[in-house]
C-alpha cells in the first residue's frame, strides 16, 4: 500500500503543469491543503479547472523569478514540492538565457524563501539530463558526466544549490531525478511536446511520426504515477541517511524509441485498425540528446522505500486512453 502525505500544508510550484497538476490532485485527495504557484508560461489552466472550487486549494498566479511571489507562496507552508521549470533540451539550446533564469534563478529564490519561512522540507524535481556524457549503465546517483545541454546544466546547478543550502542553512532537501516522465495531462501540442503524447496524437490524426535518429536510442520511460508516489515518499522519509540526497525515479527498464512506437501503435490499433499500417519516418538525431538512459533505482528503493507502481506498457495503454478521450 502506498504511503501518502496527509494533513499538511503544501506548496506545489508549477502546479498547472503536467507533473505538477497530477501532484496537486494527489495531495488534495490525500487530505492536504494545497497552494499552487504558476505563471502559466507552460502550464495550462485546464489542468487545474477541477480544483478551483475545492475548499483546500488555492492558486497564486505568480512567477518564481519574482522573490515576493515566492515569499507569498511559502507563507505557513510545511512542504514545498518544486516542479516549476522550463523543460526541454531543444528549448534550452534555442534559449539558454531563459532556461538559466527560470531553472537556476527561480529555483534559488524559491529555495531561499522556503528556508526563510522555515518549511519542514523542500522536495524538488531534478533530472536524468544531469548524467550527461557519463557512459555507465545503469545510471547511479553519484556517478555523473558533463551535461550535454543548457537544460542539463541548470538541473545540475540546482542540485549543487540544494546541497549547499542543506549544509549552510540546515534545511531538509530531497532531489528526485525524473527519467522521461509520461502520462495523463501531458500536452501533445507545441514545438517541445514530449515524444509519447506527440506520437499518440500524430497517430490518431493518421500522420507519420518522425523518430530522431534510427530509433535505437533508449530511455527509461516512467509513468507519472511513479513520480507522484516518489514525492509522497520523499516528504515522509525520516533519518539523516535518507535526507539531503538525490534519487533516481524511474522504472529501471530500458525501452528503445522503435519499441515505444510499436507499443503505442498497437495500443491505438485496438481502437482504430488503420493505425496499425502507419509507419514512422526517420530524421536526424537531436543535438544535446544522450544515446542511452537507464536508471538504477536501488538507492530510492533502499532509502525511500520506492517501488514503481506502473510499468511502461500499462502506463502507455493508460496514456493512450486518456489522450483519446481528451484530444
If DSSP states are collapsed to H, E and C, what string results for 68-122? HHHHHHHCCCCEEEECCCCCCHHHHHHCHHHHHHHHHHHHHHHHHHHHHCCCCEE
pLDDT value for 291 = 85
Q: Which domains does the chain have, with CATH numbers?
A: 9-179+223-252+295-309 (3.40.50.720)
Which cell is 103 given? 531553472
Q: Give Cβ neighbours of residue 202 (< 8 Å, ≥ 6 apart).
A: 208, 209
Q: What is the pTM of this model?
A: 0.96
Which cell is 288 given? 544535446
Binned average pLDDT, 10 residues per bin, the chain of 327 residues: 89 98 98 98 96 97 98 98 94 96 98 98 97 94 95 97 97 97 93 91 96 95 98 96 97 96 97 96 86 95 97 97 93
**Alpha-carbon distances of 322 from 141, 182, 200, 290, 325, rounded to whole Å:** 33, 12, 10, 29, 5
pLDDT value for 84 = 98
DSSP 248-306: EES-S--EEHHHHHHHHHHHHHTT-GGGGG---EEEPPPTT--SB--B--HHHHHHH--
The Cα 112–Cα 66 span in angstroms is 12
User: What is the CA 74 to chain-centroid distance, rounded?
Assistant: 21
The Cα 75–Cα 32 span in angstroms is 15
151 assigned to active site: yes
Question: Which one of the listed residues 79, 124, 131, 151 is annotated catalytic?
Answer: 151
The Cα 81–Cα 30 span in angstroms is 15
The Cα 271–Cα 106 span in angstroms is 43
pLDDT value for 286 = 82
Amino acid at each position: 500500500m502506498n504511503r501518502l502525505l496527509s494533513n499538511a500544508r503544501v506548496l506545489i510550484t508549477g502546479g498547472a503543469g503536467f507533473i505538477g497538476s497530477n501532484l496537486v490532485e494527489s495531495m488534495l485527495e490525500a487530505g492536504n491543503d494545497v497552494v499552487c504557484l504558476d505563471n502559466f508560461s507552460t502550464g495550462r489552466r485546464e489542468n487545474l479547472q477541477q480544483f478551483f472550487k475545492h475548499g483546500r486549494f488555492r492558486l497564486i498566479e505568480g512567477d518564481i523569478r519574482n522573490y515576493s511571489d515566492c515569499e507569498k507562496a511559502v507563507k505557513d507552508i510545511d512542504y514545498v514540492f518544486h516542479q516549476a521549470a522550463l523543460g526541454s533540451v531543444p528549448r534550452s539550446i534555442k534559449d539558454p538565457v531563459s532556461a538559466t533564469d527560470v531553472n537556476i534563478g527561480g529555483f534559488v529564490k524559491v529555495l531561499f524563501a522556503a528556508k526563510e519561512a522555515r518549511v519542514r522540507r523542500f522536495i524538488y524535481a531534478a533530472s536524468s539530463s544531469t548524467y550527461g556524457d557519463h557512459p555507465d549503465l545503469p545510471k547511479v546517483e553519484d556517478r555523473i558526466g558533463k551535461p550535454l545541454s543548457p537544460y542539463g546544466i541548470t538541473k545540475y546547478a540546482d542540485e549543487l544549490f540544494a546541497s549547499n543550502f542543506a549544509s549552510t542553512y540546515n534545511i531538509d532537501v530531497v532531489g528526485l531525478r525524473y527519467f522521461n516522465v509520461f502520462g495523463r495531462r501531458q500536452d501533445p501540442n507545441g514545438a517541445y511536446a514530449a515524444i509519447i503524447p506527440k506520437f499518440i496524437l500524430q497517430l490518431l490524426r493518421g500522420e507519420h511520426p518522425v523518430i530522431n535518429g534510427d530509433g535505437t536510442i533508449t530511455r527509461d520511460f516512467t509513468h507519472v504515477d511513479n513520480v507522484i508516489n516518489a514525492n509522497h515518499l520523499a516528504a515522509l522519509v525520516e533519518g539523516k541517511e535518507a535526507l539531503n540526497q538525490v534519487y533516481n525515479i524511474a522504472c529501471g527498464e530500458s525501452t528503445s524509441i522503435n519499441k515505444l512506437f510499436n507499443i503505442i501503435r498497437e495500443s491505438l490499433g485496438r481502437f482504430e485498425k488503420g493505425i496499425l499500417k502507419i509507419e514512422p519516418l526517420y530524421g536526424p538525431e537531436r543535438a544535446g540528446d544522450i544515446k542511452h538512459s537507464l536508471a538504477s533505482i536501488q538507492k530510492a528503493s533502499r532509502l525511500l522505500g520506492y517501488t514503481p507502481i506502473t510499468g511502461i506498457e500499462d502506463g502507455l495503454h493508460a496514456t493512450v486512453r486518456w489522450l483519446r478521450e481528451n484530444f
